[in-house]
Amino acid sequence: MDNTHSVATLIDSTTSKIQQLQKAFAELESHRAVTLNLKWKELEEHFHGLEKSLKRRFHELEDQEKEFENRTIKARDLLVKKEADIVAKEQASLDKLQEKRDAAVFAIASARDKHRKVSSDDPAVVTTEGQNAQPSTEETPQENTISDGDLEEMKSPENEHEGVKSYPQLVILCKEMDSEGLHKFISDNRKNLAAIREEIPFALRAAINPASLVLESLEDFYRAESTNTDGKKDSNLLGLRRTCIMLMECLSTLLTSLDLASASEVITEEVKEQAKEIAEEWKPKLDALDLDDSNGNSLEAHAFLQLLATFGIASDFDEEELSRLVPMVSRRRQTADLCRSLGLSEKMPGVIEVLVNSGRQIDAVNLAFAFELTQQFSPVALLKSYLKEARKAVSPSKPGNTSPTVQNEVNERELTALKTVVKCIEEHKLEEQYPVDPLQKKVVQLEKAKADKKRVTEAAKPQPKRPRANGVGAGPRVTNIHAEKTFYPRVAENRYPQYMYERPYVYPGPNDNHCPSLIGSATYSLSPAHGNYFANGYQYQAVQTAYLH
């Protein structure tokens, strides 16, 4: 505003300046030695024109300034109003969340109190003479008198374990401390593992010693190890190991719902010693694991880390050795929580470096987001590097001599790599930094080429001859059929589906509400089975599986 006032003052002073100039011109006229071609009126008109032009432009600028100030005020008021609305909505959400949390805590506390009252056994009162006598009504508090009907209601599994609704058999197995039966029940109902997983933490409350029950369930983790003729591990063993991991995770969920004193009653020093013995037994077996073979999805390494986190014995093991196992489980959805529970957050930069150097940039990107290390490890640079290396890996050495089969594999691998990068970009909302349109166009081109080649291949196949109308076949005669051969189709040896415990997952970022799991090197094999990238998870499969943990 001071500058505007100064400009206005200068413009108002132009008249006086013109008058002074007139006097000077008149004096010059009187003393001129030569004839001037210019006349005063011409100069006066010129200067008056300049004065009017300056005033008009000055007023225009003043109007624009006022309009800008009005817009700024309106925008500021609107921003303040929106901020107030957001704060109000956040507060309302927090209030609702707090109410639900208080209600859940109250319900859990009430259920525990009822359980303790029912389980307390006080049939008689010992008198000072050392004799047993029935307590009188004056000695017995009124609130502790429970009718038979109330007793039965409180003992019922529905009230004692409200979280177990669909599978009450879980409560019975936990009460009986039947770890083998629990494994069998989970195996028989593996199609509904998501629902079972939600109810197991509540069912574990019925166990006399939940921690011992879970430790007993780990006995066959290595004992039943076997391989098929093709070298792959038996599907039943994989299912058993996934169940062991799930039970340890469910015990962690149970512990997070208890207060510190109750949790220490579950995880006693004796239980910790038993868990440490198991961990010491497992540890040498992990030394034989190959980083490349694990491909970021090692059940053995995951189970070992989960054991340490669940039973709180990570301090008994070297952090460097534990961080070496993290790349073996980098595609497991629980990896971020495991690392936080084990106190390995400070080791994450080194782990990410290992993943990057091993050609596993996708896992590196997800861990960088999970531990807020994107400034140190640029996600866009890592994704571009991954795509560049993937294209090099799939490029044929001699394009001119490439067979159709090899070329199809090359296109399939490049297509898989592109889809993986697109999924990662969309999951972490990197579209502004790394546009996906060129990548998606390339995906469409490869898919179209793939479809065209498939049609050409099918069209080139010889068509079987149709039988004649009179019933006489036109096919070749079959002779010398051996009697021992059968015409029944051969049944595959592995007729039953494998345990499908895996599901796409994403590394969760730092979150106070997650249940810590006191609680998941290799180059990416760009095989067709590599599938799509689900950034929430690191199981690159084109079809989402039924269940993963």
Query: pLDDT (tens digit, 0 to 9) for every residue of the chain, 549 residues total?
Result: 567 677 777 777 777 888 888 888 877 776 665 455 556 778 788 888 888 888 888 989 989 999 999 989 989 888 888 888 898 888 888 888 888 888 888 888 878 777 776 655 444 433 334 444 444 333 333 333 334 444 343 344 444 456 677 889 999 999 999 999 999 999 999 899 999 999 999 999 999 999 999 999 999 898 756 545 444 567 888 999 999 999 999 999 999 988 888 888 999 999 999 999 999 999 998 887 877 767 888 999 999 999 999 999 999 999 999 999 999 999 988 899 999 999 999 999 999 999 999 889 999 999 999 999 999 999 999 999 998 888 876 555 555 555 677 777 778 888 899 999 999 999 999 999 999 999 999 999 988 888 888 887 777 777 666 665 555 554 554 444 444 433 334 434 443 333 333 444 444 455 544 444 433 333 344 343 333 333 334 333 333 333 344
Round to whole Å and give the CA distance between 276 and 314: 9
Q: Which pTM does this prediction carry?
A: 0.56
The torsion region of residue 359 among left (phi > 0), alpha (psi -120 to 50) and beta comes to: left
Burial 113-144 (b: 16+ CB within 10 A, else e): ebbeebeeeeeeeeeeeeeeeeeeeeeeeeee
Upper half-sphere CA count for residue 323 (Cβ side, 13 Å) = 16
Round to whole Å and give the CA distance between 148 and 273: 42
The SS3 assignment for 11 reads helix
Q: Where does residue 206 rank: exposed (0-12), middle (13-18), buried (19+ CB within 10 A)? A: buried
Round to whole Å and give the CA distance between 238 and 245: 11
Which amino acid belongs to residue 70? N
Contacts with 253 (C-beta within 8 Å, 6 or more apart), sequence order: 201, 515
Q: Please answer whether residues 245 and 251 qualify as being in contact, where contact means their C-beta atoms are separated by less than 8 angstroms.
A: no
Could you tell me the residue ranges of all domains in the chain?
A: 13-113
Give CA separation, 539 vs 48, 409, 503, in Å.
81, 21, 7
Whole-number pLDDT of residue 166: 84
Distance of CA 471 to the CA centre of its chain: 63
Contacts with 431 (C-beta within 8 Å, 6 or more apart), sequence order: 425
Whole-number pLDDT of residue 280: 94
Whole-number pLDDT of residue 137: 36
Round to whole Å and give the CA distance between 135 and 302: 55
Give CA separation, 484 vs 480, 481, 487, in Å.
12, 9, 10
The torsion region of residue 343 among left (phi > 0), alpha (psi -120 to 50) and beta comes to: left
The SS3 assignment for 343 reads coil
3-state DSSP of 245-281: HHHHHHHHHHHHCCCHHHHHHHCCHHHHHHHHHHHHH
Q: At what angle do helices 235-256 and 299-310 cross, to 10 degrees?
A: 20
From 297, 294, 295, 325, select the one nearest 309 (Cα to Cα).
Answer: 325
Which amino acid belongs to residue 227? T
Distance of CA 531 to the CA centre of its chain: 18
The SS3 assignment for 516 reads coil
Round to whole Å and give the CA distance between 41 and 25: 11
3-state DSSP of 384-403: HHHHHHHHHHHCCCCHHHCC
Q: Where does residue 435 rank: exposed (0-12), middle (13-18), buried (19+ CB within 10 A)? A: exposed
The SS3 assignment for 522 reads coil
Q: Where does residue 300 rank: exposed (0-12), middle (13-18), buried (19+ CB within 10 A)? A: buried
Which amino acid belongs to residue 163? G
Distance of CA 406 to the CA centre of its chain: 35
Residue 399, token pair as written in the block: 């394009």
Q: Please answer whether residues 289 and 300 qualify as being in contact, where contact means their C-beta atoms are separated by less than 8 angstroms.
A: yes
Round to whole Å and give the CA distance between 250 and 273: 20
Render 40-105 in DSSP notation, one character per residue.
HHHHHHHHHHHHHHHHHHHHHHHHHHHHHHHHHHHHHHHHHHHHHHHHHHHHHHHHHHHHHHHHHH
Round to whole Å and give the CA distance between 421 and 384: 9
Tokens 């895996």 locate to: 502
